[in-house]
Amino acid sequence: MLNESAYTASVNLLKQASTPFGFVASIQEHDNYRRIWTRDGTINSLAALLTGNPELVATAKATIETIFTHQHASGFMPSNVTPSGSVSYGGTVGRADNPSWAVIGLCQYVLFTGDNDLANRFRKNTEACFSVMDAWEYNGKHLMYVPQSGDWADEYIQHGYVLFSQLLRVWALRLAGEVYTYSPWQEKAKSITEVVRTNFWNNQSAQNLYAPNLGHQLEQAPIDFWFLGFNPSRIYAQFDLQANLLAILLGIGTRQQDETLASLLKGLYLQLKNMLPSFFPAIQYGDHDMQELKNNYAYSFRNLPGEFHNGGLWPVWNGWLVAALCMIEETSLAIQLTDAIANANSLNNNEFNECLHGLTGQPIGVPHCAWSAGGYLLAANYLEGKRLFI
């Protein structure tokens, strides 16, 4: 079942992306990719832990040390750190998902290796991560309010109560509660989970909705997947692959909800015969959301229909999807997607591009992206029966 060539190439790319300070996002300089990113570095660290490769595990520890050492005094985490130690906390806004990623990376490392000294060293940093996320609730009702450009899809349209960031926080709280034997964090994870279950799946008869706005917004909302998110004026209709795979991976939904999701995912795969898009359907010219999308970019506009966040196909998130599918025993689709990831990474002589065009299947992003390799390693190791701590 294991594609040895794809696996070896993925391990080799992570080795090339390894520095004494952690994993860089890409092995070549492009914009600001040759830096240690909290999100990318953590994901590659989790893949490294699953491989058990000593060199990669050592780089995982270096990544954790770099991002926690450069934590802001207010508690939020770096967007990225250069090997020379220059730190960025974000562009127009910071990254609301990064405190969770950092804690997840630290706790997974401790649980895999038994390095309790590292856990003790960064206990106060972990407390600061949760403190700043508590503050981002603004109203004490268990959901963080995420600014536009505040998570991985930093050139997309979403803002407000974005599900992806809520679920990462649940995972971080669960893990930290276990590592530090601290029940209030575990209880907070349960509280957030209950709010998510009530408000992010269309159940118009649900009681205790987060806000009165949802009562009428649900009338036009999707019915067969977890919402991307909502804010005072809308529920987002697009399918968010990342949020939905996390919901499966973390066991948020019922068996029926997981089966409904699996049916949707299988249908989408049969339609595309390729990796699945991060957001679907793509926003088209003439759509209401296109004007907002067109204005949100840092260097150049990359979100044409079918491209980048707007319907692009990302090996890293499809790797996470395989992990989620393994948790609900959807093995056939998991194998097909793992093969699709291997094929995507192999294009242009193992270019490991960050994403492919959603319609043409051609590489369109930054080449030699480490987390494209990390995505394959996550998928392959989950198919082999290895697991992260949930």
What is the pLDDT, as a whole number, of residue 30? Answer: 74
In a domain, 388, yes or no: no
- Average model confidence (pLDDT) for the chain? 96
130 or 84, greater pLDDT: 130
List of residues 6+ apart from 364 with CB closer than 8 A? 307, 308, 312, 353, 355, 356, 357
- Contact between 76 and 51 under an 8 Å Cβ cutoff? The reply is no
136-156 pLDDT, tens digit per residue, is: 999 999 999 999 999 999 999
Radius of gyration of the chain (CA): 19
Question: Considering the domain boundaries, does residue 389 fall inside one?
Answer: no
Task: Give φ, ψ of 73 to 5 degrees.
Answer: -60, -25
Residue 216 lies in a domain: yes
Q: Is the pLDDT of residue 204 over 80?
A: no
DSSP codes, 24-87: -SBSS-STT-SSEEHHHHHHHHHHHHHHT-HHHHHHHHHHHHHHHHT--TTSPPPSEE-TTS-E
Whether 167 is in a domain gets the answer yes
390 in a domain, yes or no? no
CATH code for the domain of 236? 1.50.10.10
The answer to whether residue 41 is domain-embedded is: yes
pLDDT by residue (tens digit) across 211-255?
999 989 998 899 999 999 999 999 999 999 999 999 999 999 999
Which of the 8 DSSP states describes residue 97? T
Neighbours of 206 (CB within 10 A): 15
Residue 1: pLDDT band (50, 70, 90) is: low
Q: Are strands 161-162 and 36-37 parallel, antiparallel or unpaired?
A: unpaired
In a domain, 197, yes or no: yes
Q: Could you tell me the two tokens for 37?
A: 């990113």
145 Cα distance to chain centroid? 17
- Amino acid sitting at position 195: V
Torsion over CA: 375, 376, 377, 381 (sign): positive
Angstrom CA distances, 275 to 252, 323, 326, 342, stand at 24, 14, 16, 10
Whether residue 66 lies inside any domain: the answer is yes
DSSP assigned state of 236: -
Domain total for the chain? 1
Q: Which residues contact 298 (CB under 8 A, 6 or more apart)?
A: 31, 91, 154, 155
Q: What residues make up the domain containing 251?
A: 4-383
pLDDT at 154: 95
Sheet holding 234-235, edge to edge: 161-162, 229-231, 234-235
Where does the pLDDT of residue 298 fall: very low under 50, low under 70, confident under 90, or very high at 90 and above? confident
pLDDT in tens, 24-74: 999 988 778 899 999 999 999 999 999 999 999 999 999 999 999 999 999
Place of tokens 């068996």: 255
What gap in Å lies between CA 115 and CA 119, rounded to an integer? 7
> What's the CA gap between 52 and 49, in Å, rounded?
5
Tokens of 12: 């080799």
Could you identify the residue written with the tokens 């036009």?
A: 220
Q: What is the pLDDT of residue 220?
A: 86
Q: Count Cα neighbours of 374 within 13 Å in the Cβ-side half-sphere.
A: 30
